[in-house]
Amino acid sequence: MWLWSDPLVTIFVRSFLALLFAGAAYSKLRHQEEFYGVVRNFRLMPDWLAYPFAMILPWLELAVAVGLVVDRAMPVAAVAASSLLIVFALAIAINVARGRKAIDCGCFRTGYRQNLSWLLVLRNVLLAGAGLILVLAPQAVRTATVVDFMSGVLAALVAMTLYFTSGLLTGVANTARNNGHLV
């Protein structure tokens, strides 16, 4: 049996990616003007395109999050999630290659900057791979149970908590480093 064909793993990955995209969308919608500044700061598109992009992206992320939890929409949402994550990885990689690491990634509007790095590129590529595996994995070898569902969702909630915590700690460290404090 292939690990990805287990319904527990599929439920976990779907739930984690749905939480990731919903959280990203929510934070960008709450701080739209700030996110528009982040998009402009990436310097990858003309200014006239940056504003519509910054206004549409959170709604697209929210649609992906909803699609990941709806069985019929999941394959399309998983491809969309992976595609967005690859686009984000490319945008970060271009700026890191340009030497522009001291800008905020724009992933979540937490109040702390998460500077660009090759690690963020890798993170997005791995997350994109997880989304594609949802589409490419063989069919489940067994039917999901209530325990699978509850365990998968709870594991995704724990993983998301750890994900946000690591992002906040990275942001705190970056802020301290930028203010001349030792970390």
Percent of the chain with pLDDT over 70: 86
Residue 11, domain member (yes or no): yes
Instruction: Kindly state whether residue 183 falls inside one of the protein's structural domains.
Output: no
User: Looking at per-residue confidence, does 91 or 179 come out higher?
Assistant: 91
Q: What is the mean pLDDT of residues 115-144?
A: 88
Confidence label for 136 from pLDDT (cuts 50, 70 and 90): confident
State residue 176's pLDDT score. Answer: 58
DSSP line for 9-48: HHHHHHHHHHHHHHHHHHHHHHTHHHHHHHHHHH--S-HH
pTM of the predicted structure, to 2 decimals = 0.85
Helix (H) or strand (E) holding 162: helix 146-178
Residue 99: predicted pLDDT? 95
pLDDT in tens, 42-100: 999 999 999 999 999 999 999 999 999 999 999 999 999 999 999 999 999 999 999 99
User: Is 171 inside any structural domain?
Assistant: yes
The total of structural domains in the chain comes to 1
Assigned domain for 53 exists: yes
Question: Which tokens belong to 9?
Answer: 């793993």
Summarised one tens digit per residue, pLDDT across range 108-120 is: 766 557 789 999 9
- Asked whether residue 38 is domain-assigned, the answer is yes
The answer to whether residue 73 is domain-embedded is: yes
Residue 1: its pLDDT value, please? 45
Range of the domain at 139: 3-178
- List beta partners, residue 104: 115
pLDDT at 22 over 90: yes
